[in-house]
């Protein structure tokens, strides 16, 4: 199923991901639950911060941020 094809489900997911990001900034793991996520199915899963930190997308974003800071002559 492509969640992006369903606007309502996509917006639900984006909002939950924003909440999840905030929760993971203070905790090592968090649960995400969306009732009636897509086609009447619920989404319920546990996410660990370390899994996201090891993902290639996270590494790409981190590398680009470091490069941007260097170009702007700024530090963290």
Contact status, residue 15 vs residue 28, Cβ threshold 8 Å: no
**pLDDT at residue 15 above 90?**
yes
Q: pTM for the whole thing?
A: 0.66
Name residue 41's beta-bridge partners: 38
Render pLDDT for 26-73 as a digit per residue (tens, 0 to 9): 999 999 999 998 888 899 999 999 888 888 777 888 888 898 888 888
Render pLDDT for 38-47 as a digit per residue (tens, 0 to 9): 888 899 999 9
The count of other CB atoms within 10 Å of the CB of residue 5 is: 9
CATH superfamily of 3-71: ATPase, substrate binding domain, subdomain 4 (3.90.640.10)
Contact status, residue 43 vs residue 37, Cβ threshold 8 Å: yes
6 membership: H or E segment, kind and range = none
């Amino acid at each position: 199923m492509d969640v992006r094809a369903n606007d309502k489900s996509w917006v639900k997911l984006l909002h939950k991901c924003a909440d999840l990001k905030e929760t993971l900034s203070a905790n090592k793991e968090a649960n995400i639950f969306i009732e009636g996520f897509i086609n009447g199915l619920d989404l319920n899963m546990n996410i660990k911060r370390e899994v996201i930190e090891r993902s290639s997308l996270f590494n790409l974003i981190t590398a680009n941020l470091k490069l941007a800071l260097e170009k702007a002559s700024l530090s963290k």
